[in-house]
């Protein structure tokens, strides 16, 4: 298996633009997680899905953030409009529920 | 509220030394505990997973122990190598009486192994 796949790996955008991050989980994993990592705040869970259904989105910082999982093999995290403080590395991870989580390589987002 | 602490925040050792990284958690009601490694600019790599019913897990030069009653886990690295240099994170999966997936992460220990 190729592991968790994320795209793009790097994204540079201007404030106010829409940003869409993509994730393909490991086949057979029915839990998917979106995390954000910054130097100041460390690793934060934004939202997670079980069987394509959002279970806990309490970590989503604002209404500017939204996440979808239209099917078992694809998820998106969208920021609209983006702001400089959204600059961070965004990780997607997947797992079989309550077992090891496997992380993707991350998307480094820079908002200028 | 479950809190996870890792001490020390940073550690530097000479190559070949055996070392121990520490992880503490405040609530013993956990489903499992997972140790990760993160290299600079990279994602997290899962190293070991210990279920709540287990006391330890081993993989190569790594050995992780779990003492739920005292809220502690240790990651032992034998014969350290420069390639072990990375940030090590522990994370607990709290048990809320049902299936849950929300890992609680520690802040990590930055390990540098000097050649």
**Could you read off the pLDDT of A10-27 as tens digits, one per residue?**
999 999 999 999 999 999
Task: Enumerate residues 6+ apart whose C-beta is below 8 A from A66.
Answer: A60, A77, A78, A80
- Higher pLDDT: A39 or B99? It is A39
Asked if B108 reaches chain A (Cβ–Cβ under 8 Å), the answer is yes
Q: Output the six-digit token pair for A90.
A: 């965004």
For B56-90, how does the pLDDT look when each residue is reduced to its tens digit (9 = 90+)?
999 999 999 999 999 999 999 999 999 999 999 99
First to last CA, chain A: 36
Taking CB atoms and an 8 Å limit, are A97 and B99 in contact across chains? yes
Asked if B102 reaches chain A (Cβ–Cβ under 8 Å), the answer is yes
Q: Which of B33, B89, B80 is nearest to A98 (CA)?
A: B33
* Residue of chain A whose Cα is closest to the Cα of B37: A103
Nearest-CA distance B63 → chain A (Å) = 17
Question: At B1, is the pLDDT very low, low, confident or very high (cuts 50, 70, 90)?
Answer: confident
Cβ–Cβ under 8 Å, residues B7 and B24:
yes
The pLDDT value recorded for residue B67 is 96
* Residue of chain A whose Cα is closest to the Cα of B93: A98
**Average per-residue pLDDT for chain A:** 94
Cβ–Cβ under 8 Å, residues B64 and B73:
yes
- Which residues on B lie below 8 Å from A95 (Cβ)? 101
Taking CB atoms and an 8 Å limit, are A91 and B46 in contact across chains? no
Strands (E) located in chain B:
4-7, 10-14, 19-25, 30-38, 44-51, 56-59, 62-67, 72-77, 86-94, 104-105, 109-114
Interface A-B: count of C-beta contacts within 8 A: 48
How wide is the angle at C-alpha A14 spanned by C-alphas A84 and A54, nearest 5°?
A: 65
| Dist CA B54 CA A21 (whole Å) | 37
Nearest-CA distance A89 → chain B (Å) = 9
The pLDDT value recorded for residue B102 is 80
The pLDDT value recorded for residue B99 is 52
- The sign of the CA dihedral B52, A50, A104, A92 is negative
The pLDDT value recorded for residue A24 is 98
Cβ–Cβ under 8 Å, residues A34 and A48:
yes
| Dist CA A7 CA B1 (whole Å) | 34
On the question of pLDDT at B97 being above 60, the answer is no
- Which residues on A lie below 8 Å from B31 (Cβ)? 98
For A82-109, how does the pLDDT look when each residue is reduced to its tens digit (9 = 90+)?
999 999 999 999 998 778 899 999 999 9
- Give me the phi and psi of B24, to 5 degrees please: -125, 145
The pLDDT value recorded for residue A56 is 87
């Amino acid at each position: 298996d190729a592991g968790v796949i994320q795209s793009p790996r790097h994204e540079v955008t201007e404030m106010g633009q829409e940003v869409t991050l993509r994730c393909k989980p490991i086949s057979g994993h029915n839990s998917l997680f979106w995390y954000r990592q910054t130097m100041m705040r460390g690793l934060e869970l934004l939202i997670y899905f079980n069987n394509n259904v959002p279970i806990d989105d309490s970590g989503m910082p604002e209404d500017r953030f939204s996440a979808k999982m239209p099917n078992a093999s694809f998820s998106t995290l969208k920021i609209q409009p983006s702001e400089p403080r959204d600059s961070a590395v965004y990780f997607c991870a997947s797992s079989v529920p309550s077992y090891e989580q496997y992380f993707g390589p991350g998307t480094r987002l820079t908002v200028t | 509220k479950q809190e996870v602490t890792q001490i020390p925040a940073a550690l530097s050792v000479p190559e070949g030394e055996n070392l121990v990284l520490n992880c503490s958690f405040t609530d013993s009601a956990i489903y499992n505990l997972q140790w990760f490694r993160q290299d600079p600019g990279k994602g997290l790599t899962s190293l070991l997973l210990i279920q709540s019913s287990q006391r330890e897990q081993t993989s190569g030069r790594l050995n992780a122990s779990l003492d739920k009653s005292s809220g502690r886990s240790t990651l032992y690295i034998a014969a350290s190598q420069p390639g072990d240099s990375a940030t090590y994170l522990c994370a607990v999966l709290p048990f809320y009486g049902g299936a849950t997936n929300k890992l609680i992460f520690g802040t990590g220990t930055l390990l540098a192994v000097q050649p």
